[in-house]
Structure 1
């Protein structure tokens, strides 16, 4: 029987296996057309919308994009009855893990759909050219985002080797059902991410098609690119991208209204978020369902992180006391995703992060320390207006910025990547898992290439530590 690469086989049959509770099936009304079926701008728009729908799934931004890296780090602890993705919290994930398989195959499915849009050969009327360019830009940007997420999950971070020559993920930019790809280096993957996102910026308008943050604008792509450059330690470009976004007219939600960030869609601070409507959401399988009392409630905020907030900090509002939690599991639940039915949009990137990205870049460059301090003050004093102005410099300033990132971006899927970027160990001082210390660079800090892939693709190399 002829073997096909699993990525491509799934693309051909149009089915993605997902989490252990259920599977995601791309139904005909949501299926993304192949490149031959994309014949006009309306087809392109339908296809791009299909990709947004796809990445909202529970295997991706609907749940696991944030939850998996958080349970692998130190801000989240297992509840006593936790029975979802426990292997990640315990750092004993395996090559047969369903969630790793769902992430791998689902993201490559989205990648292929985006390739079909990018590679489609259509004639565009002059009157529709700007619309088409923006849609094409969205496709490029989303492909860049998919590869950025893939390489974070399945490879060590960019500076793990001096030249990022360690293995990343396969770059597949065209459809070939006989292709059995090797893994590209991390450097090559990041080069493609930057190429896709900069191409997107050149094609897109400063405002989104929908007039809100639920679809991408060129400014939103700059925000994503700021994060990419930050992870590469390309401080100058990270600062430049963040500055463009900060100057684009977004505004931080006020201290008094901080909690509305999580219960309201398309706030003044939101740059890009994944739409979760009442008819298109993950229900109890959403990220909210993993945290809130009325859902599965599998995961809780660790005392490690809760203890870092000042009692008067507005961000303490994302913790909700639960009298039924006892002992090491008491007393809080995460309330950053309050709607148990998953109706709240998933915030992918927002203005507070841009200030923190720019602060970190400026502190690392070292020529605008006052600017770095001011950026840090913007975020810290929004949360706690009584906080004194930042005066730290040098490594102390960088430490304070990383501390603030932990407070501001908690439960948004970034803590693990920040620890990896700064080559720090995972230390769980308030620990309900069987493992409380995971050293920097450990094999279990990334995901194995799924066995379904290695079984059918002789050219794919497994990550170290798995057979």
Structure 2
């Protein structure tokens, strides 16, 4: 297959929108690749597709569903339904498009995995080839990332039911549209995530043989940590240890194996200050590399290949409009004036804005050093490894210009780590999922005066996903 044809192939995949997710686009020939380069082009399509749902859209919609954003000013009508926790069926809306964006990544990954499983002889390749094994690991990771993220919107967190028997998502592992794709349980979904991510970890190398911005072993370890951390207070999802023990172990492995480092200059201002969402636009090209904390993320090379545009909705350096995101006043007030991160928020005419994304172009870290450090700290505290938790959180406090701590109780330490996590990851889409995780343990927890486990905390599936045997999420919101 020539380059033009393969490009047409993965563009047709990336633009695909079906009525039912188990259908493939009619004009896609999945038996097309003839060599390793063709297969790599298909894999690149999956990386490229990350930019739509995770280039700011999923992060923003998760924040709107939580308690960091002050709405409904600054959000549009579709987003207001998220803010108001509507559970109505929807189609051709931002939620619909994000949902389908995740499954496009799944489709791309499954095409690659199908070729590796069934077509290597025709490609002149072997399953033992180092690059083939690495590509399989990359495809498994991409699929896992997409399915993990979509599951956090469409299903309650582990622990919502005592045995995780509540409904999850369609965990699609094949491009064969003859296979029924009913929703699995959360127990089944998370078992599949752990299995896929562990296999990805075993196949990936410390560094990617093609490009340092592609997935490697530490990226798989980081997502294993994120999955176990989300499972948190729910029933253990793996026989190897408790969820928090496993979250700690994989966070520690990721931090040990990665070439990323803790950025002491992050958000320090001045000539030497750095930013997590690095980017600098010159002649329509991004002249900055991803921040040194990035373990895995989305790279924007130019204005023609910019993946983080939705974060521009926060920008306070542009004219404030009715689509500019506002931040909750209580969050602003909770950050002491001595905290260097206070400068990330600003007050204008009684409203509060986040300037963290005040850039014309940026890279989007999906797993970064500070996030994994915070996971390791909280997981350490939950498993009573308090000295490790103190060491980790003191790095964060010291960088922020705050006093370090010593000798706190377990409960005090966990509260401090969670507070720091909210500030550090503001705007990155973590807060509502943290609250859902914590709600399993603190059952009276509310999110903007609504129960953490009410129906409205879930996104509804697109109306077009109704087919035989498929069960929609319940309606009724949070009233």
TM-score calculated relative to the size of structure 2? 0.82
Distance 1:80 1:106, change over 3 A: closer
Q: Does 1:355 align with 2:373?
A: yes
CA drift at 1:82? 3.3
Q: Which shows bigger deviation, 90-99 or 230-239?
A: 90-99
Are residue 246 (structure 1) and residue 261 (structure 2) matched? Answer: no
Does the aligned pair in 2 maintain the 1:263–1:344 contact within 8 Å? yes
Does residue 103 of structure 2 align to residue 105 of structure 1?
Answer: no
CA distance in structure 1 between the aligned counterparts of 2:316 and 2:307, rounded to whole angstroms: 14
Give yes or no for contact 1:222–1:245 (8 Å, CA) kept in 2.
Answer: yes
Q: Conserved in 1, the CA contact under 8 Å of 2:87 and 2:458?
A: no
Q: Equivalent of 1:458, from 459, 468, 472?
A: 468
Shift of 1:286: 2.2
* SS of aligned partner of 1:298: coil
Give the aligned partner of residue 24 of structure 1. none
Q: Does structure 1 residue 288 correspond to structure 2 residue 282?
A: no
The count of residues paired between Structure 1 and Structure 2 equals 422
Partner of 1:156: 156
Q: Distance in 2 between matches of 1:441 and 1:79?
A: 22
The answer to whether the 8 Å contact 2:345/2:353 transfers is: yes
CA distance in 1, matches of 2:273, 2:396: 12
Deviation at 1:181, TM superposition (A): 2.1
Conservation of the 8 A alpha-carbon contact between 1:156 and 1:446: yes
Contact 2:166 2:186 in 1 (8 A): yes
- The 1:62–1:361 alpha-carbon spacing in structure 2 relative to 1, beyond 3 Å, is same
Which residue number in structure 1 is paired with residue 437 of structure 2? Answer: 421
Q: Give the match's secondary structure for 2:276.
A: helix
SS of the aligned residue for 1:6 comes to coil
Displacement after TM superposition at 1:70 (Å): 0.4
For the 8 Å contact 1:5–1:177, the answer to whether it is kept is no
Distance 1:259 1:306, change over 3 A: farther
Matches within 5 A, 1:131-170: 131-170=131-170
1:269 aligns with 2:293: yes
1:260 aligns to 2:275 (yes or no): yes
CA shift, 1:73, in A, is 0.9
SS at match of 1:273: strand
Q: Is the 8 A contact 1:38 1:122 kept in 2?
A: no
- 1:390-440 CA distances to partner (integer Å, 9 max, x unpaired)? 431222221111111111111110000000001067767xxxxxxx42112
C-alpha separation in 2, matches of 1:229 and 1:104: 23
How big is the shift at 1:388?
2.7
2:359 is matched with: 339
Q: Give the TM-score taking structure 1 as reference length.
A: 0.84
Which residue pairs with 2:238 in the alignment? none
Report the Cα offset of residue 161 of structure 1: 1.2
Could you tell me which runs of 5 or more consecutive residues in structure 2 were left unpaired when the two chains were aligned.
Answer: 1-17, 233-242, 280-288
Instruction: Specify the alignment match of 1:317 in structure 2.
Output: 343
Q: Choose from 426, 429, 451 the match for 1:410.
A: 426
Match of 1:46 among 41, 48, 51: 41
Instruction: Quote the Cα distance in structure 1 between the aligned partners of 2:338 and 2:209.
Output: 39
1:61 aligned to which of 48, 54, 57? 54
Residue of structure 1 equivalent to 2:286: none
Aligned to 1:444: 456
How far is 1:206 from its partner?
A: 0.5
Deviation of 1:210 after TM superposition, in Å, equals: 5.0
Over residues 272-319 of structure 1, what are the superposed CA-to-partner deviations in whole Å (9 max), with x where a residue is unaligned?
A: 111122211258x52213544527643112112222222232222322
Does structure 1 retain, via aligned residues, the 8 Å contact 2:317–2:358? no
Q: Tell me the distance in 1 between the aligned counterparts of 2:295 and 2:456.
A: 32
- Aligned CA RMSD, in angstroms, stands at 2.5
The unaligned stretches of length 5 or more in structure 1 are 15-32, 429-435
Match of 1:387 in 2: 403
Measure the CA separation in 1 of the matches of 2:424 and 2:435. Answer: 15
Which one is further off, 290-299 or 168-177?
Answer: 290-299
